[in-house]
Amino acid sequence: MTRVALIAHDEKKPDLIEFAQTHEAQLREYELIATGTTGKRLQEETDLEVERKESGPLGGDLMIGAEVAEDELDGIVFLRDPLRAQPHEPDISALLRICDVHDVALATNHSSAEFLIEGLAD
């Protein structure tokens, strides 16, 4: 089954929830994982099943990166805040590097997330 990770900086969590609600039918077809707080919000605000990793500050983004390295993930949606990211939030650079090494799609904004979700459906 297709496995997708969902991550968002604090200011982008509402955008990710909205994205998940809009694409709930499609996302239901995938195994979903998320960092702790993002996963909790997705579980509370959608009917999606989400495997939660640790929160970003506790290494959840690194846990997701490990799944990429172990060839267990097909794509990542990481809605990041390029202007106001806080020091405690996950850093995109390690995930970007591991996704490039393993040729795994990584979407960082709404438009690329749309393409990723639709591309995985094909």
Looking at the annotation, which residues are catalytic? 61
E strand or H helix at 96: helix 92-102
Helix spans in 23-59 (H): 24-27, 36-45
Q: Which residues are annotated as a binding site?
A: 9, 13, 35-38, 55-56, 88
Neighbours of 77 (CB within 10 A): 27
Q: Which residues are annotated as a binding site for substrate?
A: 9, 13, 35-38, 55-56, 88
Beta bridge partners of 74: none
